[in-house]
Amino acid sequence: MFVVRGVLAAILLAAIPFVAVNSLSQDAQPPGQQAESRGQAGDEQGSEFWPPIYGYRLKITDTLLVAVTFLLFVATLALWWSTRSLVKGAELTSERQLRAYLVVNVKDFVWPRSQGGPLTITLEIKNTGQTPAHDLRSLSRTAFLDYPLSPGFDFSLPFSQDPSVGLLGPGESIYITASDQLTGDEWLVLKWDKKKRLCTYGTLTYRDIFDASRHTNICIIHDVTVDETTGRITLNSITAPYHNDAI
């Protein structure tokens, strides 16, 4: 302990002459030169700092460096965000271009040869997309409905326990045929009741290659005209304003 104190004392004593010499050299300068040197030092020191803000003095070079670094961070963040948005947009566009799309059209109608005979409707389901539709299930119904259709009509159908599913490749079609017996009253409705329309509606469900669950709702109204003179039956099938959508 005493050794350490002795060393410190020796250092202090050795420094005294240098301090004294420096003080003497400054005192030896003329008063005008001393004031000028102090003014130059103060100006140089003052030029390196901004004016005091709430008692704090900030160095100009340090604050500029912080500002440039912050702007660089903001620019990098904006670039990352825009790149991320572009990548997501490209993925979404690719999915929309490649996924399966199912459309339904009326392919054929077979009218009863006599009153009370079977009415057969054939629907074409076509995949207009570029990839297969997996686990395809279809559920549809053809019935006489009030026309025009009510916006609140319930198009839901009871779930079918049929476990059969299908795979529909790109550009391929399958056909669904529904046959039902027309009663005498239904035959008269078909011919004369203008407030009723024969309607086919239902839902297709499937899964695309991106493992997303998809569905296509259909609702087709069949406008039937019977020529009493020739007996010719004319059919005009149109899509209803409701229940025709897909995801």
Supply the CATH number for residue 153's domain: 2.60.40.10
Both 169 and 234 in one domain: the answer is yes
Instruction: Please list, residue by residue across 138-161, b when 16 or more beta carbons sit within 10 angstroms of its beta carbon and e when fewer do.
Output: bebebeebebebeeeeebeeeeee
Helix (H) or strand (E) holding 185: helix 184-192
Q: Is residue 189 part of a domain?
A: yes
Shared domain check, 107 and 89: no
Task: Let me know if residue 193 belongs to a domain.
Answer: yes
Residue the block writes with tokens 């027309």: 182
pLDDT of residue 163: 58
- Return d(Cα 155, Cα 201) in angstroms, integer: 7
Do 72 and 176 belong together in one domain?
Answer: no
The answer to whether residue 28 is domain-embedded is no
Instruction: State residue 220 phi and psi, 5-degree precision.
Output: -120, 130
Mean pLDDT per 10-residue segment, the chain (247 residues): 42 40 45 51 62 80 90 93 87 91 90 70 94 93 86 84 81 85 71 82 94 94 81 82 91
* Count of domains for the chain: 2
Given 31, 63, 98, which residue is the final one in a domain? Answer: 98
Q: Is residue 244 part of a domain?
A: no
Same-domain pairing of 171 and 232: yes
Q: Is residue 40 part of a domain?
A: no
Q: What is the model's pLDDT at position 180? A: 67
Q: Which residue in 141, 162, 136 sits closest to 153, CA to CA?
A: 141
pLDDT value, residue 114: 64
Residue 90: what pLDDT? 87
Residue 68's pLDDT is what? 92
Q: Are residues 112 and 224 in the same domain?
A: yes
Assess if residue 22 is contained within a domain.
no
Asked, for residue 246, whether it belongs to a domain, the answer is no
Whether 68 maps to a domain, the answer reads: yes
Q: Which domain holds residue 115?
A: 102-239
